[in-house]
Amino acid sequence: MVQRTCIVVIISLILSSFSYLGAAYLNLTLPGQHPFPEQVVHDVHRKVNASIARREMLQTSLRDQSSSTYSSCLTGNPIDDCWKCDPDWPNNRQRLADCAIGFGQYAVGGKGGKYYIVTDSSDDDAVNPKPGTLRYAVIQTEPLWIVFPQNMLIKLSQELIFNSYKTLDGRGANVHIVGGGCITLQYISNVIIHNIHIHHCHVSGNANVRSSPSHYGYRTESDGDGISIFGAKDIWIDHCSLSHCKDGLIDAVMGSTGITISNNLFSHHNEVMLLGHSDDYTPDSGMQVTIAFNHFGENLVQRMPRCRRGYIHVVNNDFTRWEMYAIGGSGNPTINSQGNRYTAPIDRNAKEVTKRVETGEGEWRSWNWRSEGDIMVNGAYFVASGEGVEVKYEKAYSVEPKSAVLIDMLTLHAGPLGVGSRDNNVGMWSTGPNGGTSGLGSGPDYTDEMSGNGSRSVPVSTSSAFILFFSLLLSLSTLLFWYAASDTHYFTIKYNL
C-alpha cells in the first residue's frame, strides 16, 4: 500500500509540473518540446531588454563619439547585436549559430563543420547534382556552413531537400532562390537559413529527387511553399525575404517544433504562414514557435500566422495591414502576442487582428489568446480569450512615441542585409555587384518586382480582388518521464484550411 501511494504521489508531482501556469491542455513533453514555454518567453524579453539597455547606455556615454563602431552596431535587436558588433565577424561567421532566441535557439546549423562555397548557380539534375551547386551541399550528411562568393539567382528544378546540420549563410551576397518547390526540411533537425531571398516558388514534383548522397526517391507534387517544415525540429529562419509563392511562404506541420522565425520581410502573398497540420493531428500539440522582429509588409491577406494547436509566441513584429486578418487559428492553440504593432487596413470590416477559424465562441472562449503591450493602429483590435482573461475588444488608442520607436528600431533591418536599401556593409566575399553587373540577370525569370528587396511602403488599400486565391496521433507517446538525454527543444506545423 505504501509503495502504491508513493507512485501516485510521484506521478501527481510530475503531471503538476508539466501543467505549468495552468496550460489549456496537458503539457506532456514530446520529443523536442520545451516543458516550460513561458520560461522561453521570459528569456526572449530578458535578451531584448538587455540589448535595448546596452544601446541606450552607449548612446548616452558615446554621444560625442558617433563614429564608434561598437555604438553604431547596437540596434536593440539581440540577434543582430550578437554577431554584428564583432568587427571581424566575416571571419567568424559561425558565431551566428549562438545568436538565435526563442524556441529555435538550439538550432546549431552547420556549426563546427566545413565551409562550403557555392560556385555554380545551376540546378540541372535533381538526382545527380554537380559539386559546387547548392543542391549538392544541402544533401550531404556532415555539418556544412554554406556561403556564396557572389550574387546568385538559383532557379530550382525540383524541391531543394535538406539534410540535417546545415547553415545557408547569404551574408555578403544577393542570393535569390526561386522555382520548383523551393526549400523542404523534412524529418531533419538543426538548420539555419539566413539572408536569402525566397520567392516565386511553384508546384513541382512527380519526379525523382535526391535527399542524401545515398538516397533518392520519387516525389509527388509539392505544394509550392517557400519553406516547408515537415516533421522537423530546431529550425531558425532569419533575415530572409519571402514573397510570391504558390502556397505558403513558410508552412510547418506534422510534429515540427523548436522553430524561430525572426527578422524576415514578408510581402505580396495570400496565405503567409501555416503552423499545424490539422485540428485533429494531436502531435502538433507539441509545436512551439517564436515569431520575432519580422515585418509583415505590403499586399498580405491572411495567416500571419494561422495556427493549429501548439504554443506560438508573436513578439515585437510590425504588421502593416492585412486584407482579412493577421493571426488566426483553430484546434485550441496558445497564442501569446506581446509588443507588436498592428496597423489595420482601411476596410472597416477587417479591423480585427484575430480570427477563430470555423469555431463558435462557446468553444474558443477557453482558448488562451492574450495580447500584452501591443500597439493598435487605425482601429485595429485584438480579441483575447482564455482562463482569467475577460474577452475584450481593444479599440485603437494613442500610443507613447517611445513604444512606436521601439518597434521601428527592432524591425528596421527586417529582410536580407547588405542589399537593396539596407546596405549594412556585411559580407566576407563581396558586398557589391559582380563586375559591374547585378549578377542576377533579367527577363521573364527575374525582374526587380520579383526581388522583394525590402520596400517598407504601406499599401493604400488593396482591392478585394486580391482575395481571389484564398483557399480555403498524438501518439501521446508514453507519459515520457524524463526523455532526458534527447534534445528536448520544440515543435512546429503546417497545412491548409
Place of cell 551547386: 133
Q: Where are the beta strands (DSSP E) in 183-253?
A: 183-186, 189-194, 197-202, 207-212, 215-219, 227-230, 233-238, 241-243, 250-253
Instruction: Please answer whether residues 269 and 468 qualify as being in contact, where contact means their C-beta atoms are separated by less than 8 angstroms.
Output: no
Place of cell 555539418: 143
Instruction: Please answer whether residues 129 and 158 qualify as being in contact, where contact means their C-beta atoms are separated by less than 8 angstroms.
Output: no
Neighbours of 190 (CB within 10 A): 26
Lookup: cell for 62? 558615446
The active-site residue, picked from 55, 210, 219, 303, is 303
Query: Cα separation of 99 and 83, whole Å?
Result: 7
Query: Cα separation of 487 and 483, whole Å?
Result: 9
Instruction: Please answer whether residues 245 and 267 qualify as being in contact, where contact means their C-beta atoms are separated by less than 8 angstroms.
Output: no
> Which residue type does 330 have?
S
Instruction: Please answer whether residues 256 and 494 qualify as being in contact, where contact means their C-beta atoms are separated by less than 8 angstroms.
Output: yes
303 assigned to active site: yes
Residues annotated as catalytic are 303
